[in-house]
């Protein structure tokens, strides 16, 4: 029996609700499979921890996490009590960077039993590969002066290594998908980073003569997500563009509450971190009405990464079966609670 040691950081807000639900589903799928099990270790890190200790996680937090096979995280953020740039950079982004989780994979596909807010959508199945270690989210810049003279400078950092890595990963994914990669650019507005991004894309694609490519500016791409999402297979995007595009990906599926994500250390040197696209949703936290599907589907991505694709497929099937049965939380137009959705997925399993 294979045992996977998983570090659990439920985090803040609805993270505390959706993570335990997803763990129940993952334990059940492991029991049904019989060849593996999970050993969950819980860490109370997040904004509550910050308010008590003055830091989002202990100083040796990253070293602690390195001892685990993978990390399962909910969401971080309590914006009324802790500024977002402190909470996210003190935990979520610190882990992504510190454990070199340089690729963020975020699928968006039309699920059975779900009504997309798009009118008559064609079947779409997109995977966004988001560069996850640099780009627009870089701790480089500064603030100066005050009042009318106040200045804020935020630099974007694009390295050849990081850019090539994300693009190669996207092309490799496309090999096992529908052989198409779209690059999200904005080289008509950003005059250094995105022309560089375009050049690297043109170089990298030469290594993949069997893969078709397209290049779209991010503004047009956002519109195409609404008008013709079926046109896309794999999309490679910078950190900011990928972040925005994948909330939209969640929205066209039916809700940001179902969108899954995986922060991958593709070298498998350190643990990867599995956490859904959505945040801590303070507006609905503590009410038992959050949609657990994003977190559950994220668990499927963890199973896939661990090599249990069959068990992973079981989870997505159970999610779809439960949706077809009409068991939906409010964000999907239903009236079911988180617990009802979780129980329905368990039953479908």
Ligand X SMILES: NC(=O)C1=CN([C@@H]2O[C@H](COP(=O)(O)OP(=O)(O)OC[C@H]3O[C@@H](n4cnc5c(N)ncnc54)[C@H](O)[C@@H]3O)[C@@H](O)[C@H]2O)C=CC1
Cα separation of 293 and 321, whole Å? 12
Closest by alpha carbon to 257, among 194, 331, 196, 207? Answer: 331
Cα angle 187, 189, 191; round to 5:
65
Q: What does 221 bind: K ion, ligand PYR, Mn ion, none (CB cut-off 5 to 8 Å by kind)?
A: none
Find the part of the chain contacting K ion (CB under 5 A) among 60-68, 72-80, 167-175, 283-291.
72-80
Of 243, 253, 254, 296, the one binding ligand PYR by CB under 6 A: 243
- Binding to ligand X (CB under 6 A) within 4-23 occurs at 14, 18
Give residue for tokens 């490519």: 213
CA distances for 130 relative to 57, 331, 345, angstroms: 25, 25, 29
Q: Is 134 in the site for ligand PYR (CB under 6 A)?
A: no
Helix (H) or strand (E) holding 5: strand 2-11
- Taking the C-alpha atoms of residue 145 and residue 316, their distance in angstroms, rounded to an integer, is 52
In the complex, minimum distance from the CB of residue 209 to ligand X, in angstroms, rounded to a whole number = 37
Name every residue whose Cβ is closer than 8 Å to that of residue 321 and which is 6 or more positions away in sequence. Answer: 112, 113, 348
CB of 280 or CB of 322, closer to K ion: 280
Supply the minimum distance, in Å, between the C-beta of residue 145 and Mn ion: 31
Number of residues lying near ligand PYR (CB under 6 A): 3
Report how far residue 173's alpha carbon sits from residue 180's, in angstroms, rounded to the nearest whole number.
Answer: 9
Cβ proximity to K ion, 69 vs 275, nearer residue: 275
Rounded to whole angstroms, the Cα distance separating 89 from 82 reads 12
Contact partner at residue 265 from K ion, ligand X, Mn ion, none, CB < 5 to 8 Å by partner kind: none
Tell me which of 8, 75, 88, 128 binds ligand PYR, using CB under 6 A.
Answer: 88
77 binds, among ligand X, Mn ion, ligand PYR, none (CB under 5 to 8 A by kind): ligand X
Helix (H, G, I), strand (E, B) or coil at 184: strand
Contact string 263-302 vs ligand X (x = CB under 6 A): ------------x--xxxxxxx-----xx--x--------
Smallest distance from the beta carbon of 258 to Mn ion, in angstroms?
A: 14
Polymer length in residues for the chain:
349
Nearer to ligand X, 46 or 312 (CB): 46
Q: Which helix (H) or strand (E) holds 239?
A: helix 239-253
Query: Shortest approach of K ion to residue 29 CB, angstroms?
Result: 21
Judged by the rule CB under 6 A, the positions of this chain that interact with ligand X are 14, 18, 75-77, 79, 84, 88, 92, 256-257, 275, 278-284, 290-291, 294, 329, 331
């Amino acid at each position: 029996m294979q045992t996977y040691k998983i570090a659990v950081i439920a985090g803040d807000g609805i993270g505390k609700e959706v993570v335990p639900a997803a763990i129940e589903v993952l334990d059940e799928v492991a029991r049904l499979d019989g060849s593996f099990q999970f050993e969950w270790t819980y860490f109370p890190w997040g904004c509550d921890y910050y308010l008590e200790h003055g830091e989002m996680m202990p100083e040796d937090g990253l070293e602690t996490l390195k001892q685990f096979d993978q990390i399962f995280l909910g969401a971080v953020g309590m914006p009324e009590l802790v500024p977002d740039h402190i909470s996210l950079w003190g935990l979520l982004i610190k882990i992504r960077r510190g454990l070199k989780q340089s690729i963020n994979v975020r699928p968006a596909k039309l699920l059975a039993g779900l009504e997309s807010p798009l009118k008559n959508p064609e079947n779409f199945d997109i995977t966004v590969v988001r560069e996850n270690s640099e780009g627009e989210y870089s701790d480089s810049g500064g603030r100066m002066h005050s009042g009318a003279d106040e200045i804020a400078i935020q630099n974007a950092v694009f390295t050849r290594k990081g850019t090539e890595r994300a693009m190669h990963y996207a092309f490799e994914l496309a090999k096992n998908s529908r052989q198409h990669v779209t690059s999200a650019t904005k080289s008509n507005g950003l005059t250094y980073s995105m022309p560089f991004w375009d050049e690297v894309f043109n170089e990298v694609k030469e290594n993949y003569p069997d893969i078709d490519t397209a290049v779209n500016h991010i503004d047009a791409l956002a519109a195409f997500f609404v008008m013709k999402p079926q046109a896309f297979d794999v999309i490679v995007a910078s950190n900011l563009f990928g972040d925005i595009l994948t909330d939209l990906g969640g929205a066209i599926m039916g809700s940001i509450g179902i969108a899954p994500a995986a922060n991958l250390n593709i070298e498998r040197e350190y643990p990867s971190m599995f956490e859904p696209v959505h945040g801590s949703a303070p507006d609905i936290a503590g009410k038992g009405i959050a949609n657990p599907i994003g977190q559950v589907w994220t668990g499927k991505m963890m199973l896939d990464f661990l090599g249990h694709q069959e068990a992973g497929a079981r989870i997505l099937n159970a999610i779809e079966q439960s949706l077809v049965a009409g068991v939906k939380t409010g964000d999907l137009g239903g009236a079911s609670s988180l617990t009802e959705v979780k129980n329905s997925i368990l039953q479908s399993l």
